[in-house]
Amino acid sequence: MASADVLNGNFEAWSNASADNWTTVDTGINVSQNTNTIKTGTSSAAITVNTATQGSTDFLQNIAVTAGQNYDFSVWVYHTEGGVKARLFADGYRGYSDPNLVNQWQQVSYTYSATTTKEIAVGLRFYDTTGFDGSETVYVDDFEPTTSAGTGGGTGCSDNEITFSLTTDQYGYETSWSIKNSSNIEQAIGSNLSNSTSYSENICLTDGDYTFTINDSYGDGICCTYGNGSYDISLAGTSLVSGGTFTQTESKTFTLGTAGGGSGGNPGTYYQSITTQTGYSLKTALHNLIKNHTAQGYGAIWTFYANHSLDTYYDNDGTILDIYAEKPFGSDSYSYTKVTNQCGSYRGEGDCYNREHSFPKSWFGGTIEPMNSDIHHIFATDGYVNSKRSGFPYGEVASATFTSTNNSKLGSATSALGYNGTVFEPINEFKGDLARAQLYMATRYQNVISSWQTNSTYGNAILDGSSNKVFETWQLNMLLRWHANDPVSQKEIDRNEAAYSHQGNRNPFVDHPEYVEKIWSVN
């Protein structure tokens, strides 16, 4: 236990009325020695909570942990009124005590698996519940870890460790949230939040059905009137619920365990209605299958990127996978940390990343839903390079006027392309991804896309005004060529699964690349 002792976890040592070694005691609580209500030894800590602002109730200390070791943290809690509950903290927010169990000791525990050697914070945070009268005492005793040899790499949660991410808008204090189980018992809550701030915490939940509810007291949600707020709950990298655009309140359900738990949908059963169709009949059948997705709002794209647009394929460093900067066969010139480096303003390449509509907004008429937030065609890219691409069509460049650090180009089209104008050419590694995104748009919005031809000059250059073929011949031929030359990769499959969990529909040309030829090559 040499590397993970919680010092004075039995609260026997006190100096100047303070518990020795507990270095973070926030302003919303008072801590004193108690010799009457004890679990072990001769004294416990009497913690009086005087605020409903949870961020001012931390009671912590730092300890060292060693990679490859498992640590069984536990603490005993004694509630006197039931108006507050205690939450165990061990390098993140863990389980809660049950505030309804008053006048008796109860244990809150958590097994932590250290993947790196470092210092972590352990302790408690307190949350007000219904009936909190502004001041309440909770007794705490026997905060103790035990160690055992481990293999490392575990989740630290024997059930389901979900990741909850929230970015507030400019009025964070208006926002509150909760996760309740099927018995309507709160498992996690949050309120009194800071403005324009990103939060992330891991929550351990057992198998079962849960309801996530988020409230905005003003009634304008958290996106997009006063900021780009969003939320996401994920399990093992797969989004279970997400959003940000609502009015007063929004509730979404999810299931953990064998009955559900974030499956991206079975591509086999998803397409069971697709049998012998070919040509534009197949395209119409696919349109009917994918047309009713649930728009999550433009702000929710940031959270999707933070969870599902990370580089675990090339540099494998967990930074943002930027398709206009990634060098598949060499070191990237720069990299972006999720959330921290999202735009923002930029003056040049490498300043920040933002949201690239591969099918530009001007082509479908502006910030119109559901197109404006449809994640299947919106990729994380460098903000400056995104601005260079602007609303120009994708194409193949003969003479470049701009070249990004990974060799994406803007310039005049090659004579062989069949189009005489300025185009933007991504690198070969992502041409198939972008082609399948364009073909998705032609299918998902088949019912309205024929009216988009005159929305913009460059939209007119690639759209033919029909609802079936959709693209001008030069553009269609290029997309089919890019699709064939850059087959579906694992990163695309993973993104498609995440997109399904995010908004409820799939890109059929990722699941079934053969559908491309069955639709457009027979017409």
pLDDT in tens, 7-16: 888 898 888 7
Distance CA 302, CA 230 (A): 8
Beta strands in 414-492 (DSSP E): 422-425
In the block, residue with structure tokens 């039931």: 82
What would the pLDDT profile of 385-404 be if each residue is shown by its tens digit? 999 999 999 999 999 999 99
Is 83 a residue whose pLDDT tops 90? yes
pTM as predicted = 0.56
The two beta strands, 198-205 and 186-190, are unpaired
Q: What is the per-residue pLDDT for 446?
A: 97
Distance CA 85, CA 132 (A): 10
| Spatial contact of 441 and 377, defined as CB atoms under 8 Å apart | yes
Distances (CA, A) of 18 to 1, 2, 34, 120, 278: 25, 24, 12, 22, 76
Question: Between residues 493 and 209, which one has the greater pLDDT?
Answer: 493
Q: What is the per-residue pLDDT for 522?
A: 64
| Spatial contact of 363 and 458, defined as CB atoms under 8 Å apart | yes
In the block, residue with structure tokens 């801590």: 31
Q: What is the per-residue pLDDT for 447?
A: 96
Share above pLDDT 90 across residues of the chain, in percent, rounded to a whole number: 60
Q: How many CB atoms lie within 10 A of CB 498?
A: 22
- What φ, ψ does residue 499 adopt, rounded to 5°? -65, -40
Q: What is the per-residue pLDDT for 259?
A: 35
Question: Between residues 257 and 59, which one has the greater pLDDT?
Answer: 59
Least confident of 112-121, 183-192, 281-290, 360-369: 183-192
Distance CA 500, CA 508 (A): 11
Please, what is the end-to-end C-alpha distance for the chain in angstroms? 71
Residue 514, exposed/middle/buried by CB under 10 A (0-12, 13-18, 19+)? exposed
What would the pLDDT profile of 240-285 be if each residue is shown by its tens digit? 888 888 888 888 878 887 433 333 455 667 898 898 999 999 999 9
* pLDDT band (50, 70, 90) for residue 191: confident
Least confident of 75-89, 161-175, 337-351: 161-175
Q: What is the per-residue pLDDT for 523?
A: 62
Which two structure tokens, joined as six digits, stand for 491? 């990163």
- Most trustworthy range by pLDDT among 94-103, 160-169, 282-291: 282-291
Average pLDDT value for residue range 453-457 = 95
Q: Among the residues of 164-218, which ranges form H helices?
A: none
Q: What is the per-residue pLDDT for 280?
A: 97
Q: How many helices (H) and strands (E) does the chain have?
A: 11, 28
Question: 311-326: buried (b, 16+ CB within 10 Å) or exposed (e) per residue?
Answer: beebbeeebbbbbbbb
Share above pLDDT 70 across residues of the chain, in percent, rounded to a whole number: 93
Which two structure tokens, joined as six digits, stand for 434? 């972008």
Distance CA 218, CA 470 (A): 43
Q: What is the per-residue pLDDT for 148?
A: 31
Distance CA 365, CA 358 (A): 14
Distance CA 396, CA 408 (A): 10
- What φ, ψ does residue 313 adopt, rounded to 5°? -125, -35
- DSSP letter for each residue of 104-153: SEEEEEEEEE-SS-EEEEEEEEEEE-TT--S-EEEEEEEEE--EEE--S-
What would the pLDDT profile of 123-139 be if each residue is shown by its tens digit? 999 999 988 999 999 99
Which two structure tokens, joined as six digits, stand for 334? 């720069």
Q: What is the per-residue pLDDT for 157?
A: 56
Q: What is the per-residue pLDDT for 158?
A: 60
Distance CA 360, CA 451 (A): 15
Is 384 a residue whose pLDDT tops 50? yes
What would the pLDDT profile of 147-159 be if each residue is shown by its tens digit? 332 222 333 456 7
Distance CA 200, CA 197 (A): 10
| Spatial contact of 373 and 298, defined as CB atoms under 8 Å apart | yes
Q: What is the per-residue pLDDT for 417?
A: 97
Q: Name which of 253, 273, 271 is nearest 262 in CA terms.
A: 253
Average pLDDT, the chain: 88
Which two structure tokens, joined as six digits, stand for 146? 């035990």
Please tell me the chain's helix, strand, coil percentages from 3-state DSSP, rounded to the nearest 5.
20, 35, 45
Q: CB under 8 Å to 340, separation ≥6 — which residues?
A: none
Average pLDDT value for residue range 424-430 = 97
In the block, residue with structure tokens 């999720």: 338
Q: Among the residues of 96-187, which ranges form H helices?
A: none
- What φ, ψ does residue 441 adopt, rounded to 5°? -60, -40
| Spatial contact of 394 and 434, defined as CB atoms under 8 Å apart | yes
| Spatial contact of 40 and 34, defined as CB atoms under 8 Å apart | no
Residue count of the chain: 523
Distance CA 299, CA 226 (A): 11
